């Protein structure tokens, strides 16, 4: 099993550009989530999904969209990148909301 995979590993964007961060898992987990990690602020939940076709907002959803058309994939879209979105983004999956989370390797995003 590859576990949770994320692409790209690094990305540089200009303000106003859009892009999609990819996340996939091969463990048949129902629950998937996106976090951003900034220095001194821990991990903050952006969006999450409890199953295919269902998504909900987390703590910091503004400027991001998600969809969950399959169990395996949970892409995160930045609609119009801003410097405040410079961060490290982690995708995670788990069998259920109350179970341990398996994190992907992360995407380091810089917005100029």
Chain positions contacting other proteins, by CB under 8 A: 33, 35, 40-45, 58-59, 90, 92, 97-106
Smallest gap from residue 101 Cβ to other proteins (A): 6
Residue 1 vs 14, nearer CB to other proteins:
1
Residue 26 vs 59, nearer CB to other proteins:
59
Pair of tokens at residue 29? 């987990």
Smallest gap from residue 41 Cβ to other proteins (A): 6
* Whether the Cβ atoms of residue 45 and residue 58 lie closer than 8 Å to each other: yes
CA dist 33 and 50 (Å) reads: 9
Residue 74 vs 90, nearer CB to other proteins:
90
Smallest gap from residue 103 Cβ to other proteins (A): 4
Kindly report the backbone phi and psi dihedral angles of residue 88, in degrees, each rounded to the nearest multiple of 5, phi listed first.
Answer: -105, 130
Q: Which of 4, 6, 8, 48 is nearest to 25 (CA)?
A: 4
Residue 33 vs 71, nearer CB to other proteins:
33
Instruction: Count Cβ atoms below 10 Å from residue 52 Cβ, excluding itself.
Output: 16
């Amino acid at each position: 099993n590859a576990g949770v995979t994320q692409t790209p590993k690094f990305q540089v964007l200009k303000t106003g550009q859009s892009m999609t961060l990819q996340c996939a898992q091969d463990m048949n987990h129902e629950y998937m989530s996106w976090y951003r990690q900034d220095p001194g602020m821990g991990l903050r939940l952006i969006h999450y999904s409890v199953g295919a076709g269902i998504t909900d907002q987390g703590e910091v959803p503004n400027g991001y969209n998600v969809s969950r058309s399959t169990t395996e994939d949970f892409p995160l879209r930045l609609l119009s990148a801003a410097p405040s979105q410079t961060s490290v983004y982690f995708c995670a999956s788990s069998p259920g909301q109350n179970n341990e989370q398996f994190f992907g390797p992360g995407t380091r995003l810089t917005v100029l």
